[in-house]
Structure 1
């Protein structure tokens, strides 16, 4: 059983779309979970039609949504303070050292992050790479396991089948609640799914199939 889990993703809503069920499972088992969120997603494109936000107000809206999601998922939150859509331009070593300092304090047995080069968004790839380097910089005796999440269309063709496939059917409703707590972003993408129970049964089945499994690869360090 894990002693502590740390989730490292760059944006508010990455945690809910990517690992909400896994997080809920760990919390049900009594395992503490901390989310290290890279940015406030302040460059998000969805500001409504008509607009409900502007560039000045969107960060606070997304922060409030993130706090709500973390409450639903019953996990702690630490904001890393980076700027949205600029993580790829940060010095990866400096970001890794920043993350290592936090990991040394939290002493997780498991870190969950994005799989570099197979996570679609440049911020995903950059922070995933920094997280993996941060763990590599740790003393091997204290190094946690890393689960890396790939989400590109071709990841299975290149990487093979994931090592971990979590069936999170029992947490589906709570996962959807966490996703929709990020209303400024999820409403546009998944607005039609907001009331899943009112949709046709075949549509319900498709949604549950898409969101009821979470996949990860164990990162293999060579030293």
Structure 2
């Protein structure tokens, strides 16, 4: 993050993608005074995690995840815009229609940097689809003024195809804020975090294991052919 950005727009499909994926990078930008806006695709209402132990059900989960998303964005001190797509269906939306919607937001916000998922290397179909639409939205913009795109790959062994990431942000100095943002997503956090350690509770051991797993945020700079 050597170049001073003027505005950063983060585009991910689910509540908690911003926290697990880029909260440390976002915190670094906010400490520089750079505005950050999160365009969140869905409410993650089809997610399987209902809290550990469960405190949500299929009917209440959308409202709970919406509240968690707002809390996480407040923790990160970023603006939130919700795109209103349905969870697990973005892959079935017309990519050009989604791209045009994103383009309207980007032209209004005029960011210098867009952060999104790397299409086809982001595991979840919603990740891949919204990442592809985000890249297309930027491609449709005037090449003279279009923002830089940082694309985050999270599939297994992505470096075999893509090589080493261009951006490697060691965010351990911001890890406490990242954890606060992750834990704001109460319905999702414990179920995910306990996968990092054999401990069944959110102990110091899990925090250290999470720091080892999540302490580096990596991105590729997307290169447009036109």
Q: List, as ranges, runs of 4+ consecutive aligned residues in structure 1 with deviation greater than 6 Å.
A: none
Find the counterpart in structure 1 of residue 202 from structure 2: 194
Q: Give the root-mean-square deviation of aligned CA atoms.
A: 1.4
Find the counterpart in structure 2 of residue 170 from structure 1: 173
TM-score normalized by the length of structure 1: 0.94
Task: Work out whether 1:148 is the aligned partner of 2:151.
Answer: yes
Find the counterpart in structure 2 of residue 77 from structure 1: 80
CA contact (8 A) 1:180 1:194 kept: no
Find the counterpart in structure 2 of residue 10 from structure 1: 13
Taking the aligned partners of 2:59 and 2:102, their CA distance within structure 1 comes to 27
Q: Residue 212 and residue 43 in structure 1: after superposition, are their counterparts in 2 closer, same or farther (change >3 A)?
A: same
Find the counterpart in structure 2 of residue 38 from structure 1: 41
Q: How many aligned positions are there?
A: 218
Task: Work out whether 1:90 is the aligned partner of 2:98.
Answer: no
Taking the aligned partners of 1:65 and 1:24, their CA distance within structure 2 comes to 18
CA contact (8 A) 1:5 1:32 kept: yes
Q: Which range moves more in the overlay, 126-135 or 150-159?
A: 150-159
TM-score normalized by the length of structure 2: 0.93
Find the counterpart in structure 1 of residue 197 from structure 2: none
Q: Residue 70 and residue 204 in structure 1: after superposition, are their counterparts in 2 closer, same or farther (change >3 A)?
A: closer
